Amino acid sequence: MRSDYLFTSESVSEGHPDKVADQISDAVVDLFLRKDPEARIACETLTTTQLVVLAGEIRGKGIYEDGEWAAGVPEEVEAAVRETVRRIGYEQDGFHWKTFRFENNLHGQSAHIAQGVDESGNKDEGAGDQGIMFGYACDETPDLMPATLDYSHKILARMAADRHSGTAPFLEPDAKSQVTLHYVNGKPVEATAIVVSTQHKEGWDAGEKEAELHAYVKRIVAEVLPAGLVTDKTVWHINPTGSFVIGGPDGDAGLTGRKIIVDTYGGAAPHGGGAFSGKDPTKVDRSAAYVSRYLAKNVVAAGLAKRCTIQLSYAIGVARPLSLYVNTHETGTVDDAKLEAAIAKVAEDKLGGLTPKGIRLGLGLNKPIYATTAAYGHFGRKAEGELFPWERTDLAGALKAAL
C-alpha cells in the first residue's frame, strides 16, 4: 500500500432516480418472497418523468404460474411500487406517486433458466447465472467499511431523516455526496474535499436561504465525520451548479443496477459487475456477494487481517463455486492460502457450503429483507433481527479455531 494518498467515494440518496429504480425492484422482490419464499424474481425498473416501467421474469406459487398472474397480484405490484415512491417523498409535478403512468411488463421465467437452477433428482440447486462476486472489509471504520464510502452514505442518510422528520423542510429527495480523504499509513487523517448536491425547494438557491442550506450541510457533515477530519483546509462544493430544483426521475432517467459501486465498496475494492436489486437470492450476483462480504468481514473482525478481499465464481446451473480467492493485501496474520482453506471449512460447517442453497439457507435470505438494502449501501449496515445477516461477525471465533 502507498503510505500517503487521497481517495474518494460517492453516494446517492434514496431519491436519486437510479436508487428509486433499485428500491422499486426490491419492493417487488419483497412482495413476492412474502407470498413464496422460493419465488424466482428478476425485476428491472425504469423511471423517468411521470413514468415507471417494470420488466423481467418471475415465477412463484400464488404469483405467476403456468403463464398466468394469480388473481389480484398485478394490483398488489402496482400498489407496492406507488407506496415505495410515496415513502421516498415524491409529490412533484414531474414525478408524483399518485399520478405517474405505470407499466408492468414482468413475465414468466425462461424454462431453460429454470432447469439449470431448480433441484431435481440427484441434481443440486444450481447458480442462477455465471459470474464473479467480491466481498471486502477493512478496519477503517467500526462498520469495517472504507471510510470514504461510509461517511458519504451517512451524510445522505442523515439529510433524508431530517427531510422526513420536517427538520429540514427545504430539502427534496434527490441528492448526491462525495468525500475525499487524505490517508497516511492506511488511515484517514483529513477530509480534503466534500461535495454535496441536494435537490431543494424553490428559492433556496440564493441569498439568506442559500446560506442557510449551506450551513445546514456543513453541520451535518461535521456531525457525521469523526472529529478532526474536517479542517479549515477542507474544500467544500455544495450545489456547485447553483439551482437544483428539478431532480429525481423528472431530472434524469433511472434504471435498476446503475449504482453498483455505491452499493458495495465505493471503488475501494473490486466489483464483479452484477447488480443486486431486483433479484431473488438464487441469483449469485446477490447472494454470493453477500456471503463474500460476510466472510471478509469476519476475517477482519477476528483480527486475522486489516483488509480482506474475497472472490467467488460460479457457472449457471452448477451448485459449487468454481473458485475461492482470498487476498489480505499483506495485512494478514496468516498465509492467504491457509486462510482460504479455513474459510472453506467454516463455510461448510456453519452455512452448509458456498452453494446457492447453502448461502440462502445459512444466511436466511429467502425472506422479504431487501427493500432496506436498496439505498445507502448493502454493506456496513447494522445486522438487526432478520435484516443484514451478512453483517454479523459470528464466524470470527470459528475462523480462528480453524487456523
Are 177 and 156 contacting, i.e. CB atoms less than 8 angstroms apart? Answer: yes
C-alpha cell at 331: 495485512
* Cα 327–Cα 329–Cα 334 angle in degrees, nearest 5: 70
The values of phi and psi at residue 368, to 5°, are: -80, 75
- To which residue does cell 417523498 refer? 89
The values of phi and psi at residue 264, to 5°, are: -110, -95
The values of phi and psi at residue 111, to 5°, are: -65, -30
Please identify every residue annotated as catalytic: 16, 18-19, 44, 57, 176, 244, 252-253, 258-259, 279, 283, 285
Beta bridge partners of 41: 58
Are 246 and 252 contacting, i.e. CB atoms less than 8 angstroms apart? Answer: no
Distance of CA 74 to the CA centre of its chain: 26
Residue type, 262: V
Q: Could you tell me which of 135, 86, 161 has the C-alpha nearest to residue 264?
A: 135
Q: What DSSP letter does each residue of 284-323 carry, written as one string?
A: HHHHHHHHHHHHHHHHHHTTS-SEEEEEEEE-BT--S-SE
With a CB cutoff of 8 Å and minimum separation 6, the contacts of 81 are 24, 27, 28, 52, 54, 102
With a CB cutoff of 8 Å and minimum separation 6, the contacts of 64 are 58, 70, 73, 106, 108
* Cβ neighbours around 169 below 10 Å, total: 9
Phi-psi region of 307 (alpha: psi -120 to 50; beta: other; left: phi over 0): beta
